[in-house]
Amino acid sequence: MTGRGPVARAHEAMAACLRPGDWAVDATAGNGHDALFLAQTVGPQGRVVAFDVQPAAATATRRRLAEAGVAEWVDVEVRGHEHLTAALPPTAQGRVRGVMFNLGYLPAGDKSLITRPDTTLAALQGAAAVLAPGGRLTVVAYPGHAGGGEETAAVAHWAQDALPGGFRCRGWDEPDPAGKAPRLFVLERVEAG
């Protein structure tokens, strides 16, 4: 996958499958950019659930959503993305049309607090379980920071070799020669029929 940056391309991949009224998940809220994008895409008839383990990230996300006037249809959970399936209400199970992961650390935050392969893989499995047919899962992984290379490798292995049945990989960025550039993975639950 080439062209624009991986976050912009993740948004494009999501915009192509989300509709007003859909459920969506921001698995790594950070400063709220993806949560805002998802909320604006699904609209007031839809629902977004955003996760982050850091209270500062939840505060920043809530502020961004409130300033944009979309906070009422977004739930911000202060807990790890590995709890995604437990946090979603039963009405969301199998109805989520998009899940976004933007791994790494909170920009301008404590860079020692990072996403980790074990919790990320658990969250990916949970996201796959709640995704509706035709729904998409995007992961932007950052191999250039301490711990990021291992996490990116784990995501790549999951996307290429351990993907659950009923899924296809729509594409991924190949590693750059230095192995430091962010990588986008786009996965989709195959529609029945």
Structural domain span for residue 105: 6-189
CA 28 to each of CA 82, 108, 113, 178, 179: distance values in angstroms, whole numbers, following the listed order? 10, 15, 12, 26, 22
Q: Residue 1 pLDDT more than 70?
A: no
Binned at pLDDT 50, 70 and 90, residue 193 comes out as: low
Q: CATH number of the domain that 160 lies in?
A: 3.40.50.150
Mutual orientation of helices 117-130 and 148-161 as an angle, nearest 10°? Answer: 30
> pLDDT value at position 3?
55
Distance between CA 53 and CA 114 in Å, rounded? 10
Per-residue pLDDT, averaged over 91-100, amounts to: 93
Instruction: Judge whether 43 lies within some domain.
Output: yes
Statement: residue 109 has pLDDT above 50? yes
Is residue 37 one of the residues assigned to a domain? yes
Total number of domains constituting the chain: 1
With bands split at pLDDT 50, 70 and 90, how would you rate the model's confidence at 171?
confident
The residue count for the chain: 193
Q: Model pTM? A: 0.94
Could you tell me if residue 1 is inside a domain?
no
Radius of gyration of the chain (CA): 15
H or E stretch including 14?
helix 6-15
Residue 24 lies in a domain: yes
Q: Calculate helix-pair angle for 33-42, 6-15, nearest 10 degrees.
A: 20
3-state SS, 152-172, equals: HHHHHHHHHHCCCCCEEEEEE
The predicted structure's pLDDT at residue 170:
86
Cβ atoms of 99 and 137 closer than 8 Å? yes
Spell out the residues 6+ positions from residue 153 whose beta carbon is closer than 8 angstroms to its own.
143
Q: Domain for residue 119, yes or no?
A: yes
Paired residues of 138 in beta bridges = 100, 186
Please report where in the chains the tokens 């020669």 appear, as a residue.
177
pLDDT band at residue 2 under the 50/70/90 scheme: very low
Task: Decide if 186 contacts 3 (C-beta within 8 A).
Answer: no
- pLDDT, tens digit, 9 for 90 and up, residues 24-40: 999 999 999 999 999 99
The pLDDT assigned to 117 comes to 95
83 domain-assigned:
yes
Q: Is residue 42, in this structure, part of any structural domain at all?
A: yes
